[in-house]
């Protein structure tokens, strides 16, 4: 419930921002701003069925005019229907996305979301027919007659079956891009590259830390070494100014002068 509340608030804010950008532009209030300027804003929502609500529909429906590009990730089509509680609204959400990337799924209905959008293709099938016919003339030179035929027939079949999507290997997917162009994508997977310097596991790393680190539980009891305490300060830290001379002190002593006697 907390995640849903936070997600709904975030999507509501994005809808409000998209409406402001759509009307006034991205640089509203700045000098020399142009209302037609669009800066793409990419929103990646993982497991978006846990975050979405009714405000998600106008976000993907009208956010494109404001430069919002939404990439949503989910496991099955049923997750969206279960979250919204309405099959028609779930179809409205799915219908507003332009591209579809489908990896291996376990739900046939989710796989049919891709396969039903693809056209049927014509497949040619070759059939070999062979036969032999015995001759009824026992006095003739021909005992039997054989023949072999190659028959080519054409049938209409779906381009991809749901079983093809269910059986995809790891790291591969089908992508429906640019108005219905089907692509088969293979994503490179990282291979393990062991490093001789790095520890094999966390336990070994913790062992290295115990050997190299020392504890200072009562750090306030420790003092610096006497050699450092008796050492003089560096020259660059000493004040080069000469000490000031003491100021003259005024006294009340009367200075008598010798006067000539009359």
Residues paired with 185 in a beta bridge = 173
pLDDT higher than threshold 70 for residue 191: yes
Place of tokens 């003739």: 140
DSSP 220: G
- For 42-56, write each residue's pLDDT tens digit: 989 888 888 777 778
- For 11-20, write each residue's pLDDT tens digit: 888 888 888 8
Phi and psi for 200 in degrees, rounded to 5? -70, -35
State residue 195's pLDDT score. Answer: 67
C-alpha dihedral sign at 85, 88, 93, 97: positive
Range name among 116-120, 157-161, 205-209, 226-230 with the lowest pLDDT average: 226-230
pLDDT higher than threshold 90 for residue 172: yes
| pTM of the shown model | 0.60
Q: What share of the chain is helix, strand, coil (3-state, %, to 5)?
A: 35, 20, 45
State residue 255's pLDDT score. Answer: 46
What is the per-residue DSSP string for 141-159?
S--EEEEEEEEEEEEEEES
Distance of CA 242 to the CA centre of its chain: 66
State residue 102's pLDDT score. Answer: 94
In 86-161, alpha helices (H): 87-95, 108-115
Question: Number of helices and strands (H, E) in the chain?
Answer: 8, 7
pLDDT higher than threshold 50 for residue 3: yes
Dihedral over alpha carbons 20, 22, 26, 32 (to 10 degrees): -100
């Amino acid at each position: 419930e907390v995640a849903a509340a936070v997600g709904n608030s975030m999507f509501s804010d994005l809808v409000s921002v998209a409406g402001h950008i759509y009307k006034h532009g991205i640089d509203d209030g700045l000098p020399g701003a142009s209302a037609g300027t669009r800066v793409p804003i990419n929103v990646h929502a993982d497991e978006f069925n846990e975050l979405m609500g009714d405000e998600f529909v106008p976000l993907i429906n009208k956010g494109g005019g404001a430069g919002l590009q939404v990439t949503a990730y989910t496991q099955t089509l049923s997750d969206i229907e279960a979250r919204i509680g309405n099959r028609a609204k779930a179809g409205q959400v799915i219908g507003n996305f332009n591209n579809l990337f489908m990896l291996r799924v376990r739900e046939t209905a989710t796989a049919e979301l891709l396969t039903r959008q693809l056209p049927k293709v014509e497949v040619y099938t070759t059939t070999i027919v062979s036969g032999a016919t015995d001759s009824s003339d026992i006095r003739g030179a021909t005992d039997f007659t054989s023949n072999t035929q190659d028959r080519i027939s054409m049938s209409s079949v779906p381009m991809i079956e749901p079983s093809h999507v269910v059986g995809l290997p790891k790291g591969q997917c089908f992508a429906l891009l640019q108005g219905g162009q089907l692509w088969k994508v293979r994503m490179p997977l990282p291979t393990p590259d062991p490093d001789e310097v790095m520890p094999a596991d966390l336990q070994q790393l913790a062992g290295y830390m115990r050997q190299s680190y020392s504890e200072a539980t009562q750090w306030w009891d420790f003092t610096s070494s006497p050699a450092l305490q008796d050492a003089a300060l560096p020259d660059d830290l000493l004040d080069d100014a000469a000490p000031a001379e003491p100021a003259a002190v005024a006294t009340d002593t009367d200075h008598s002068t010798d006067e000539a006697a009359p």
